[in-house]
Amino acid sequence: MAEPERLICRGGELADGGDGVRFELARGEHGEGAFVVRYQGEVHAYVNRCAHLPYELDWIPGKFFDGEGLVLICSVHGAGYDPLSGQCVGGPCYHGLAKVAVEEFDGGVYLADSWIVKERKHG
């Protein structure tokens, strides 16, 4: 059974290579920003923090992909990340994005581990 506190969004909210959904993990005292996107038909989620400098990737909420919908881009310095793995594929980044385990079932996208969604932030 799906636990409502683990629900991030409905699966239909995520278009392949399109806008993502921001959410906050109940992790630590202040929580931690994260996002989920759909790429090649599957959902992928990461902590919303560039590996180059600790800024959120999206300048405009939910806009994580480049213009072609192929690479996750940091809006501050242009670091690029593979949507499947989070690994750096170009620009100024020292390592990849921190992956957040998610799963899609019963029409929803859920956290796959013990973290809970503190807040949903739709673009």
**68 within a domain of the structure (yes/no):** yes
pLDDT at 1 over 80: no
**85 within a domain of the structure (yes/no):** yes
Phi and psi angles of residue 86, each rounded to the nearest 5 degrees, phi first: 80, 0
Under 8 Å between Cβ of 58 and 64? yes
**122 within a domain of the structure (yes/no):** no
**58 within a domain of the structure (yes/no):** yes
For the entire predicted model, the pTM comes to 0.89
**69 within a domain of the structure (yes/no):** yes
CATH code for the domain in which residue 102 is found? 2.102.10.10
Q: How many domains does the chain have?
A: 1
**101 within a domain of the structure (yes/no):** yes
pLDDT 10s digits, 105-121: 999 999 987 655 555 55
Alpha-helical (H) ranges within the chain are: none
| pLDDT band at 59; cut points 50, 70, 90 | confident
